Structure 1
Amino acid sequence: MISRWTVVVDRDDLTKTEVLHDELTAELEDCEVLLRVSHVGLTANNVTYGVIGDLIGYWRFFPTTAEGRGVIPLWGFADVVESTLDALPAGTRVYGYLPMSSHLVVRAKLTSAGFVDTADHRADLPAVYNSYLVTTNDPAYDEQLEDLQVLYRPLFMTSFLLADQVADNDFYGARTVVISSASSKTAFGTAQCLRDKGVRLVGLTSPRNVEFTSGLGLYDTVLPYDAAVDVEPSVYLDFSGSSDVRATLHDRLGADLVKDISIGLTHQAASQDPRSQFFFAPEQLRKRTADWGSDGLAERFGTAWRSFTAQAAGWVGIARHSGPNELVDVWQSVLQGKANPDTADVITF
């Protein structure tokens, strides 16, 4: 019998949380594996999972019987503690999509890189979230860089795919890219991917984050939100979800705002503005897998990832936390926008 804790949040009010405790008593069925979550990263990206949980299906990955509540997905490492598969013995370390919970049971279908969770409730959800990498099979894995991986790798995949889509469309005829929430990890990962692509990068951020964002050296210009953006043909990459920022840009740029793409929702409001196109990374992932093949995609991403991690270690400091109560504290801090851009949160379970 194994004791498990799970943090659940109110699906209509993400500030309301509760730590639930139960016992895992059932024996594993064929192909099932019990994972013990080791450590995870928590960023504004996880807030997006909650804000659009019903729209994309994020609440369905880790269902709970607690009525009206859900479990926020996180990215991180876990270790096999019990297994019905010889290829995944106890002690195997994996990286992937994990719940705010100490344990997770998966139904594993083996792949060359690890396994896919084929549990019934995940069958029609985006495949990218159902795949788990065994660290010994992952050429990008470095034990010394686990903290960077839990914090940046899922975000950087979004950055990589977004930058690829924009560049593949020749920047929609623009040569300036305006990026909101420019201090956020997914935003500056996108900026890093767009460096030296022949476009001007303008970062918008809160006044308190201008110095940090400028110090990254990724943007040609960094402006506070209330500053005027130059009127020129531009693409807007919206990582904030702020309707006020969007309205201001549309009013100022008019027809020169040639494309408006929504990615993140750090302002915790799902945009319904018809002027904005929602970017869903798994769609671009499927396209590029078809274009390049899995190996070609992995090679291109690996090259970009290594370039990114060579710089990322110097951009932020790691704040370490432990256990469900500190996990809740970090969640509340990120929700309220109190997290500092030069600090990243890693939680050990």
Structure 2
Amino acid sequence: MNLEVLRSYLARTRVTEDPITPLAEGDARIEVSGFALTSNNISYAVFGDALKYWNFFPAETDADGAWGRIPVWGFGVVTESLAEGVEVGERIYGYFPMGSELVITPGSINTESFADVSPHRAEMASAYSRYTRTSADIIYRADRESEHMLLYPLFFTSFVVDDYLEDQGDFGGSTTIVSSASSKTAIGIAFLSKARGHRIVGLTSAGNRRFVESLNIYDSVIPYDEISRIPKESSVFVDIAGDPDVVRSVHTHLGESLTFSVALGGTHWNHAAQASTEPLPGPKPKFFFAPDQIAKRNADWGRSGLGERALAAWDPYVVWCGDWLEFREVTGADDVRDTYLALLDGRTDPRIGYICSLTK
């Protein structure tokens, strides 16, 4: 069973069933036991064509490519395996479709993890094709599976973004401005930025302002309709909302005071296609692709060194999130679809984290 969306209009969904076929030699069947749904998954869909997110899990029943399967982060169990080195019963963490099962071709197998080397994933970033065995994962704790699914992928992105900015001397900016300040990715960036003493300003909707202020991690919280209040000082802009009106307002207001502008997401997906063709004042926005910085740090520190640094930052963050975050389980295709549509429309409470399963 899979929940699919129309790639040209993300609010249209359908549920499909793939035919159950015998495994080919070298393949493994994974039962998807649970996954998180956040605004980050909306960004995957918004940038599905540009960054090839649709290529991870092609809609097998769709010959014309009109429908897609949005990737999610979650846990799965190996239920059948004809792949040497991958055992039935193993619990793994990684990238899945919004579905009930996934057939993969394991390769690059070691004691900690393995990759899906299926032909359609061969050209994709390795960070999104690797599955970690929970038995060997330094991040994994059985009592933190919900936090792991919901927060860790977003926190790791936040960690990589903050590391990138720090590595570049914050591009000479004394302040970092983040849109969609109530999103988990923005919250992670703010938490890490505050920890290293860097000033951070959060942009948010009027409805989420009180929540964002209550987190006490932003030096200033400014509604989108008050962007002119941002101090005109050397600043970096991290755009998670993907709203061209917000981007233009920030660039126009700050002008040459803006030292760097980076696009990270598309939580305001319904505004993404409305961008003006007129050049923006200040620096041209650059799209941030996390696997590039991950590859750099793997080369600098080694894979284990990167993991150890992320873990050191993760532990205090997940404890802090426990003060305000509430988890909600969502089961069955209809309820998962409704939750997805609520996220798409921006109708969810940022205090709630959604842990989903199509089959439970």
Q: TM-score, normalised by structure 1?
A: 0.95
In 1, Cα distance between the equivalents of 2:241 and 2:42?
Answer: 11
The residue that corresponds to 2:25 in the other structure is: 30
> What amino acid maps onto 2:321 in structure 1?
A
The residue that corresponds to 2:77 in the other structure is: 79
Q: How many residues align?
A: 344
**RMSD over equivalenced CA pairs, Å:** 1.4
The residue that corresponds to 2:324 in the other structure is: 315
Shift of 1:244: 1.3
Q: Map Cα deviations across residues 254-274 of structure 1 (whole Å, 9 max, x no partner).
A: 110111111011111166877
The residue that corresponds to 1:256 in the other structure is: 257
Q: Map Cα deviations across residues 310-346 of structure 1 (whole Å, 9 max, x no partner).
A: 1112221112110211111111101101011111111
Shift of 1:86: 5.4
Matched, 1:233 2:234: yes
Matched, 1:345 2:348: no
> What amino acid maps onto 2:91 in structure 1?
R
Aligned partner of residue 24 in structure 2, secondary structure: coil
The residue that corresponds to 1:113 in the other structure is: 112
* Greater Cα shift, 167-176 or 193-202: 193-202
Selected match of 1:39 from 23, 34, 44? 34
Contact preservation (8 Å) 1:35, 1:79: yes
In 1, Cα distance between the equivalents of 2:4 and 2:175?
Answer: 41
> What amino acid maps onto 1:140 in structure 2?
I
The residue that corresponds to 2:89 in the other structure is: 91
| Overall identity of the aligned pairs, in % | 38
Matched, 1:184 2:180: no
> What amino acid maps onto 2:242 in structure 1?
G
> What amino acid maps onto 1:313 in structure 2?
G
Aligned partner of residue 53 in structure 1, secondary structure: coil
Structure 1, unpaired ranges of 5+: none
Contact preservation (8 Å) 2:83, 2:105: no
> What amino acid maps onto 2:143 in structure 1?
Q
In 2, Cα distance between the equivalents of 1:346 and 1:198?
Answer: 33
> What amino acid maps onto 1:258 in structure 2?
T
In 2, Cα distance between the equivalents of 1:343 and 1:267?
Answer: 19
Shift of 1:88: 2.6
Contact preservation (8 Å) 1:113, 1:137: yes
Aligned partner of residue 23 in structure 1, secondary structure: coil
What is the 5 A alignment of 1:280-299? 280-299=289-308
Contact preservation (8 Å) 1:175, 1:198: no
Shift of 1:49: 1.0
Matched, 1:101 2:99: yes
> What amino acid maps onto 1:10 in structure 2?
L
Q: 1:159 to 1:169 in 2, by over 3 A?
A: same
Q: Map Cα deviations across residues 188-221 of structure 1 (whole Å, 9 max, x no partner).
A: 1011111132321111111111111111121111
In 2, Cα distance between the equivalents of 1:126 and 1:22?
Answer: 25
The residue that corresponds to 1:19 in the other structure is: 15
The residue that corresponds to 1:324 in the other structure is: 333
Q: TM-score, normalised by structure 2?
A: 0.92
> What amino acid maps onto 2:4 in structure 1?
V
* Greater Cα shift, 325-334 or 108-117: 108-117
Shift of 1:23: 2.8
In 2, Cα distance between the equivalents of 1:21 and 1:126?
Answer: 27
The residue that corresponds to 2:56 in the other structure is: 61
Shift of 1:85: 3.5
Matched, 1:303 2:315: no
Aligned partner of residue 208 in structure 1, secondary structure: helix
The residue that corresponds to 1:247 in the other structure is: 248
Q: Map Cα deviations across residues 234-262 of structure 1 (whole Å, 9 max, x no partner).
A: 11111101111111112211110111111
Shift of 1:45: 0.6
Shift of 1:117: 0.4
Contact preservation (8 Å) 2:100, 2:357: no
Aligned partner of residue 99 in structure 2, secondary structure: coil
Q: Map Cα deviations across residues 122-163 of structure 1 (whole Å, 9 max, x no partner).
A: 001000010001100101101111011110111111100000
In 2, Cα distance between the equivalents of 1:329 and 1:55?
Answer: 26
